[in-house]
Amino acid sequence: MNLRPYFSSSAKVWDDIQWVYGIEEAGYAGWEIVADGNYRLEKPEILEKIKEVVASTRLGVTVHAPYGDLNLATLNDPIWRESIRQIEVCIAHVSELTDRVTIHPGYLSPAGKLLPQKVWELQKEALRRIGKCAVEHSVLACLENMIHQKEFLCRDCGELMGMAEGIEGIGLTFDFGHANTVGKVPEFLSRVASANHIHIHDNHGILDEHLPLGAGTIDWKTVGKAIASRYSGVIVIEGRSIEEAKKSRAVFSECFV
């Protein structure tokens, strides 16, 4: 199948945009923009600069929506509405660059732990609103599975798929680094044909370390072969630097065949 490796770095959101040229030089087909810090797409001057840089390369683009301090499942109504608004604003600007954006689910606050069903309903309603916005802008908003932290929603494949099920405009991002922290890599691999977008990075099965491929405990030969046989499209390799991007790109070339 046709796999296109993109690179993304949340560690670079405050850096000058010149670092992006190194993505293409490292052998990647595209850049997943983390829309935070110096890359908030709602700021016209930032969006124009990103367009200029992308136009001067052969890089494709996907986007990761803002997530810091946002919670799509909070019982605090003003924060819930603001969380939705920020993602919708991102989607509106994403449509000028790509048709794919990754979004994080919400999490259980101390108050939310007392009303888990209400939290689920709030998350679903948030996705319905975001999905409507995504459809209006010809974008697919892909809900991502989360790390081993009990407050997070969507840590296993069944819950992720159930949360997004039946909501127009909402797809799925399978993150295999996150899946490794909860011991769920085989589960996500078994259903990878359902993924609309994929993130990969390495760790030692406990913390979300975002290590280069091959630096943790994930068996990339097994994972790569399974993904390559069941999925076509963009695979975003996440890392902290261009040096790490190069290391991961070499492992990708070897294993995702």
| Structure confidence by residue, pLDDT tens digits, 108-143 | 999 999 999 999 999 999 999 999 999 999 999 999
Which class does domain 3-255 fall in?
alpha beta
Whether residue 96 is predicted with pLDDT greater than 90 in this model: the reply is: no
Whether residue 94 is predicted with pLDDT greater than 90 in this model: the reply is: no
| Structure confidence by residue, pLDDT tens digits, 146-158 | 999 999 999 999 9
Residues 6+ apart with CB under 8 A from 185: 176, 179, 218, 223
| Structure confidence by residue, pLDDT tens digits, 197-224 | 999 999 999 999 999 999 999 999 999 9
Q: What is the mean pLDDT of residues 227-234?
A: 97
Q: What is the mean pLDDT of residues 15-27?
A: 97
* Domain ranges for the chain: 3-255
Q: Which residues pair with 8 in a beta bridge?
A: 238
The three-state (H, E, C) secondary structure of 161-186, written as one string: HHHHCCCCCEEEEEEHHHHHHCCCHH
Residue 160, number of CB atoms within 10 A of its CB: 27
Whether residue 1 is predicted with pLDDT greater than 70 in this model: the reply is: no
For the chain, where are the alpha helices, taking DSSP H only? 21-25, 44-55, 77-94, 116-136, 157-164, 176-181, 185-190, 220-230, 242-255
| Structure confidence by residue, pLDDT tens digits, 39-55 | 999 999 999 999 999 99
Under 8 Å between Cβ of 169 and 133: yes
